[in-house]
Structure formats: structure tokens, C-alpha cells
A and B are shown apart, each in its own frame.
Chain A
Amino acid sequence: MSDSSRRRAGRILLIGGRIILGGVFIAAGFVKLRPVVHGMPWSKASVNTSLAMFAMQVDSYQMLSSSSANLVAHALPFAELALGLWIVSGLWLAVPSLITTLILGGFLTAMIRAYALGLEINCGCFGPGEKVGPLSFVRDGAFFALSLAVTIGAFLIARKKSARESSNASTAQFEQAR
């Protein structure tokens, strides 16, 4: 495979990875906000109940104080939605992908800690009903690897872009000097 075709494949995969990662974050934010009981209509009250239920899942990790767990539970779903949309948009991709990598690393650490402590709690990753365990480790590990790869790709592209811009600037200076 030539360098240019490899680069093209890399770009296509980066777009694909970006869309998957953004989609995952949008889905994660959405399922935390949707009504927890099947068939219940969406309303402000149903969102409050969903967030309160998610706060119980965050609290069950026993890592944060009640007030901090509450703050995280009320901010995280909206942050996930915003990050997901930002990643899908592709604007300054290195920034949101780095944030998602750090967030996913934090999730993975929290889950492994809970599992090591013997807390058979709900993961809370995609709504209630999913236990912390090997399946959630594999899934979040895959998301973490994907996010890391997107971040690396985004940084490489940003570096290439900045090199190209500085090349243009240097050429312009050189031309002026002549």
C-alpha cells in the first residue's frame, strides 16, 4: 500500500471512528435521560427521575460524596451529549477526543476499582440494568482504545496541518525576501 492510499484509508477510518465514538457518547447521554420505565412519556419530571436514578448508580461506586455524586450524575449525561455532537462535527477534533479519552479512562478505572472491591453494582454506562463485569470492561476498553486512536489520529492530522501552514508561511516569507 502506498503512502497516499494508506493516508486515505487512515482518514476514512478516522471519520468512521469519530462517528462511532460520537454516536456512542450521544447514545450514552440519551439513555441516561430517557424515562427509566418503558412506555413512560418524556417530560421534565421523567428526566429528573432518570437523573435521580443515575445518581444512585454513581453513588453505588462509593467513590464520591453524595453531593459530588449528584453533581456528576446531573452533569454527565449532558456533557456526553455535547461531547458526542462535538466529535461527530469534527471541529477541533483533538480537543473533544482527548476529553473523551480521559473520561473513558476514568470510567474504566472506576469500574475496575468497583469490581476489585467486590461491588457487584450497576455500571450505569448505558442506563440501569447492566452489571459491572468482564463484558463492561471489554466494551469500555474497546471504546477507550477507539478514543485513543481517534485522539492520536486527530493530533497527527493537526500536526500535519500546522506543518503545512508553517510551510506556506515560510514560503511566503522566502518569496518576499527574494
Chain B
Amino acid sequence: MIQPCNINDSNEAPCSNNFLLRGKLKMPRGWSSRASVATRILGWAGLFALIAVAATAQAQKKSATTAPALKAAAASDEAPVKAIGSKSAPITMEVFSDYQCPSCRLLYEQTLKPLINEYVATGKVYLIHRDFPLPMHKYSTDAARWVNAGAKIGRYPEVEAALYDNQDAWSADGNIQKFVAAALSPADFKRAEKMVEACVADSTGIKPASLNLTPQTHECSIDEAIAKDKALGNTVPVTQTPTYRFYYKGQAYPPTPGYVSWPILKQFFDSLLNQ
């Protein structure tokens, strides 16, 4: 009687003589080498996976410990100049952005505009802008100066809209004032221009004759506001623009970088408001 070939048997002689069973019962060719490779891959991959999980857990622990600091930073900022909406709104959204950054424009045009119309206007969200001009953008600091100057005279939303709506045009030649002038009344524009020119004079050492600057008036408070925003951004830390974070019922939510569409952001706000 021919013994059935068991795959675990070491003696293959009886079955290897049987033409009907050969091939079906033999170990697949190259099995042991493949098993050995698979074993090694499994071992190394498992080791890497464990190390990576431990590293991720450590990074998240670090991120969790910074949350109270974020909360404290927001609470200490009693009167941000560049903000829209009611301070008593249940949700606060803080956006770090650069006026010359295309993603920031996309966020403003596609997401923040409907947010302002639907949730800020109805008192659900308080929207704070933070300047985070990136060194790679030639005119972003100038743009931030114009917006801060606009904010000082109570025209922040108009200047911000003018800059984002015409980003392509002024990014090419740096002629920002043309669009700010179109967005403000002549008197308001003069006041804003004077503030911006004071800062330009401060940073370049060149004093425009029209300004008639004295040591007392030669102050650049708007650059201080930008520097303060940037310092705050570095504590988040902001690594790209736009980056935004939320506060709800005294709790700071983790910062989120990148673009987000309005339906997705709206869903998040609704989930917070339904808590």
C-alpha cells in the first residue's frame, strides 16, 4: 500500500514515485527560501513598527503637554486688533496666515468668506487673524503692515479682502497701496499710509520727506504687532501657512495646518455647537 504523502513528512520517496500525486503533495518549489525571506521581513518590519509606534506615542505626549500653554496664550490676548465677530461667540478660531501665500488666499476666498457670512455674522464664531509672514514671500511683510495699519483705523476686513482678492496682481510688482487705496476712503488711506511709511522708514533708515517724522512720532507699532503674532505662532508651532486652531468652552483644540473646505469646517463647528 502506498502511504499518503503528508506535507510535513521528511521522507518523500513513496509519493515522489506516484505520478498522480506528484506536484500536488510536494512542498512548493522554493518554499523554504521564501519562508526564510518572509520571516526576516516580518522580524525587521515588526521591530521598525514597534520603534515607530513608541516614537509616535512620545511625540503625541509632548504635543498634549503644550495644550495648556496654547490655552493660556489665547486667554491672555484680550483685544486682538485683527478680529471679526463677537468676543462672546462660543467658538474662537485663530488663523495664522501670510497674505502672499496662495493657500491662505484659497482658505480666505473659499472658506473664511462663507464662515464670516454664516457663522461670524450670527455670533457663533469669533475669527482672529495672526500674521505669520514667511521669509520666502517678498511682499508679505509689507502686506501685513498694510493690514495692521488698516486694523488700527478700524478697517481691517476691507484691507484684508482687498489684499486677498488682488493677491496675484500685487505679488507680481509689490504695489499693495493701489488696492488698499481702492478699498479705503482717501482720509483713511492717508492715515494708514502714514503708519506704513513710518515702518518702512524705521526698517530702511530712509525717512520720506512727506512724513515729517520726529523722534517722538517715529514709531513703528505695527511691526511690533506683527512680531508679536509671529512669536505666538512659533509657540504653536506654526510650520506652514495657513495654520488654525480653535477654542471652545475654555478648551484648546490641536492646531491644524493646511487648507480646509467650508463644508468640512462647518461640520466641525456644528459638532462643537452640538456638544
The interface of chain A, by Cβ under 8 A from chain B, is 3-4, 6-7, 9-10, 13-14, 16-17, 20-21, 24, 27, 36-38, 40, 43, 45-46, 48-49, 51-53, 55-57, 59-60, 62, 66-67, 69-70, 119-122, 125-131, 135, 138-139, 141-143, 145-146, 148-150, 152-153, 156, 159-160, 163-164, 166-168, 170-171, 174
Contacts and interface: CB of A to CB of B under 8 A. Distances in A.
A111 B138 CA distance: 29
Contacts of B267: 52, 55, 70
A129 B63 contact: yes
Contacts of A130: 56, 59-60, 63
A167 B51 CA distance: 43
Nearest to A48: B271
A109 to B, nearest CB: 18
Given A48-B271, A138-B52, A163-B25, A122 B46 contact: no
A113 B55 CA distance: 23
B253 A160 contact: no
B264 A149 contact: no
Contacts of B38: 10, 149, 152-153, 156
Given A171-B4, A174-B21, 7 more contacts: A17-B42, A20-B50, A38-B67, A53-B268, A59-B264, A150-B42, A163-B7
A138 B44 CA distance: 12
B79 interface: no
B260 interface: yes
B35 interface: yes
A6 B31 CA distance: 11
B261 A66 contact: yes
B263 interface: yes
Contacts of B60: 126-127, 129-130
9 contacts: A10-B38, A36-B254, A53-B256, A126-B56, A127-B60, A128-B254, A153-B38, A156-B31, A156-B38
Contacts, number: 200
A56 B260 contact: yes
Interface residues of B, number: 63
Contact of A48 (B44, B56, B274): B274
A54 to B, nearest CB: 10
Nearest to A126: B56
Pick from B34, B59, B261 the residue with the most CB of A within 10 Å: B261
B34 A20 contact: no
B203 to A, nearest CB: 28
Contacts of A56: 256, 260, 264-265, 268
A176 B56 CA distance: 60
B18 to A, nearest CB: 8
Contacts of A67: 263
Contacts of B259: 59-60, 62
Contacts of B27: 160
A138 to B, nearest CB: 6
Given A121-B258, A129-B254, A131-B239, A52 B56 contact: no
B264 A167 contact: no
A134 to B, nearest CB: 11
Contacts of B42: 10, 13-14, 16-17, 146, 149-150, 153
